[in-house]
Chain A
């Protein structure tokens, strides 16, 4: 994985010193809250309902064991013993004290981490396929490019006060596990006829109150021209994006208003001025960064593993975990293991300091000391020898980290909601807990199969409910929480926005409503058809009929 050199170290250290000074000036009264707020946000520090919240970047979702232990240490020392992993490869601490945040940032800098641009109207932490480097379908590891974007976007002099936040996601594989079309810029790698790698550039995706999937403005961009093209897009946006209304300030609205083709023309016109210049990526620099992501020293293992087969036969719970949480690895004899942070009835994405330490230990014991953080708010151990999976599972189970539900209905993405968030209108976590408890029977969950269910506590859609098979949006109606259901969303390479199924349900009806939807699916599905295929085949009407047949909804 990427290692800081002297320049990166110096830069992050300077950033810590700068923020320490800014915090001191805030505490002394030299800076007003209005002046301080954009500064603290650019270091990931929010003021939430009950306390400050610090969002730390996990660039492209890759962590070393040492970094994970540091995250645990911070949770224990400066917070309340836990952290919350987000959909955008960040971790959030819910209780830091303002005066201690510079110390936390210094701790992070010591392990080559930071909170730079995890909030604010700037280019946010660039996310990538959590299976980068280990997925069999990959063209090239996207993390080198995410790292190059990270460096280019860090305290960019021109693009630090954009009309609104700006999110970029990169994938090197045709199967999109990074929801690239849901981002302000999505980059998807392809090969040209000569076999050279380049990016399809998609612009203007986003969720919130106006969910839009990004449109392709360039089918193929040679990789060495990535930064000049990004700079052209950002320059057009910085000048023309709306600043009079924050709900219309994202680039998706600009693209929509100008039109995709006209927007592409603006970008291309700008790009003609700046391409083939100082931002061109020298091959040596690209190779230098890519070398950090070269494969670990795998052993020469056989793909057949009788010991694993025996364990699967002997332990039904392990077998279920293997089925849902373990994926094929591109290296023979290895597997990719998802660690579910969704125990039934738990808080989605939360991990205690002890759990983080345990995962760090396991990553060293069985893997190469590397951990991934996924869009689904889970952790992933990317390089586990198949023969070690059973031993790994036993330890995970002891830490309540072996729930066999990856990709299943209880693998719920949920935002912090009204329990923590200043913007929320309704609670998300208790709804997630209630639904996941309802589907906690392993056999039943297995029978339902792959199904995504996401819950957002407000229209900002941090839990990406628009692109879930079953999306739930919390709304406030005269002081009471209601939950609106969308069906048919998809978050992969065929990303689709779901449709509202009908009137909202209250907090006591919503789990029943989900169960009704699942029942309709189970009655209507053909063979092994997953939920989304059934929905696309039969449409919303059978679900509507059943949901609103009785006076279940208001």
Chain B
């Protein structure tokens, strides 16, 4: 396993508060698969600066970096909080599944 810390950017969309991820195309996607990741602190900083620009223009709210691992190419968050943010409430019924 790589010792490099891989990070991606997430935020909540202003219009509905939904969880979104910053993509390589400088868009925001609801799918974590679309996230652009950064393998070193420097590119993470660049990524964050781009995200902050979108926050300033009001598209999204509260962007931040979070840790992921690549599992067979798929980005998987490390923390439970971020896992729950990708999947929706773990107690989902048919009423509240994302």
Judged by CB atoms under 8 Å, the answer to whether A and B touch is yes
**Within 8 Å CB of A430, what residues of B?**
90-91
* CB-CB contacts below 8 Å: A400-457 with B: 418-420, 427, 429-430, 433
Check if A94 is an interface residue, CB within 8 A of chain B. yes
CA distance A541 to B93 in the complex (A): 40
Which of B1-9, B32-40, B74-82 forms part of the interface with chain A?
B74-82
What is the distance, in angstroms, from B68's C-beta to the closest C-beta of chain A? Answer: 14
Instruction: Check A47/B61 contact, CB under 8 A, given A97-B16, A98-B15.
Output: yes
Within the complex, the shortest CB–CB distance from A70 to chain B, in Å, comes to 19
Interface assignment of A306: CB less than 8 Å from any CB of chain B: no
Q: Separation in Å of the B20 CB from the closest CB of chain A?
A: 11
A97 to chain B, nearest CB (A): 4
Q: Which residue on A lies nearest to B57, using beta carbons?
A: A29
Residues of A within 8 A of B18 (CB): 50-51
Given contacts A420-B89, A429-B91, contact A49 B81 (CB under 8 A): yes
* Nearest CB in chain B: distance from A31 CB, A: 9
The docked-state distance in angstroms from the alpha carbon of A82 to that of B98 is 14
Interface residues of A in 36-80 (CB under 8 A from B): 47-52, 80
For A80, list chain B residues within 8 Å (CB).
Answer: 95-96
1/0 per residue, CB under 8 A from A, across B51-71: the answer is 000011110011000000000
Q: Out of A98, A429, A479, name the residue touching B78 (CB < 8 Å).
A: A479
B17 CB-CB contact with A under 8 Å? yes
CB atoms of A49 and B15 under 8 A apart: no
Q: Which residues of B contact A27 (CB under 8 A)?
A: 14-15, 58
Q: Which of B15, B17, B96 contacts A48 (CB 8 A)?
A: B17
Given A48-B17, A98-B15, A419-B90, verify A82-B95 contact (CB < 8 Å).
yes
Query: Smallest Cβ distance from A104 to chain B, in angstroms?
Result: 13
The answer to whether A33 touches B15 (Cβ under 8 A) is: no
B56, B79, B91: most-surrounded residue (chain A CB, <10 A): B91
CA distance A377 to B20 in the complex (A): 32
Interface residue SS majority, chain B: loop
B23 within 8 A of A: no
Instruction: Provide the residues of chain A in CB contact with B98, threshold 8 Å.
Output: 50
B57 with A94: CB separation less than 8 A: no
Residue of B nearest to A94 (CB): B96
Residues of A within 8 Å of B61, CB to CB, are 33, 47
Taking the closest CB of chain B, its distance from the CB of A18, in whole angstroms, is: 20
| B88 on the A face (CB < 8 A) | yes
A26 is an interface residue with CB less than 8 A from chain B: yes
Considering only CB atoms, which chain B residue lies closest to A428 in the complex?
B91
Q: Is the CB of A81 closer than 8 A to any CB of chain B? A: yes
**CA A433 to CA B90, docked complex, whole Å:** 12
Docked complex Cα distance between A219 and B14 (Å):
49
Contact B62 A47 (CB under 8 A): yes
Q: Of the candidates A51, A352, A429, which one forms a contact with B95 in the assembled complex, judged by CB atoms under 8 Å apart? A: A352
Q: Which of B9-27 contact A (CB under 8 A)?
A: 12, 14-19
What chain A residues lie within 8 Å of B84 (beta carbons)?
A: 49, 418-419, 427
A27-B14, A47-B62, A99-B15 known; A418 vs B91 contact (CB < 8 Å): no
Contacts of A347 in B (CB 8 A): 91, 93
Nearest-CB distance from B1 to chain A (Å)? Answer: 16
Verify A419–B14 contact, CB threshold 8 A: no
A481 CB within 8 Å of chain B: yes
Q: Decide: A49 and B85 in contact? CB cutoff 8 A.
A: yes
Are B17 and A51 in touch, CB under 8 angstroms?
yes
In the bound complex, CA of A82 to CA of B95 (Å): 7
B40 nearest CB across to chain A (Å)? 23
A50:B79 contact, CB within 8 angstroms:
no
- Measured CA separation A418–B79 after assembly (Å): 12
Within the complex, the shortest CB–CB distance from A478 to chain B, in Å, comes to: 10
A33 & B78 in contact (Cβ 8 Å cutoff): no
A-chain residues with CB within 8 Å of residue B90 when the two chains form the complex: 419, 427, 430
Instruction: Report B-chain residues with C-beta under 8 Å of the C-beta of A433.
Output: 91
Assembled-state Cα–Cα distance A429/B93 (Å)? 12
Residues on B lying within 8 angstroms of A by beta carbon are 12, 14-19, 55-58, 61-62, 78-81, 84-85, 88-91, 93, 95-96, 98
23 interchain pairs (CB within 8 A)?
Answer: A27-B58, A29-B58, A49-B19, A49-B81, A49-B85, A50-B17, A50-B88, A50-B89, A51-B16, A80-B95, A80-B96, A98-B14, A98-B15, A347-B93, A418-B80, A418-B84, A419-B84, A427-B84, A427-B91, A429-B89, A430-B90, A430-B91, A479-B79
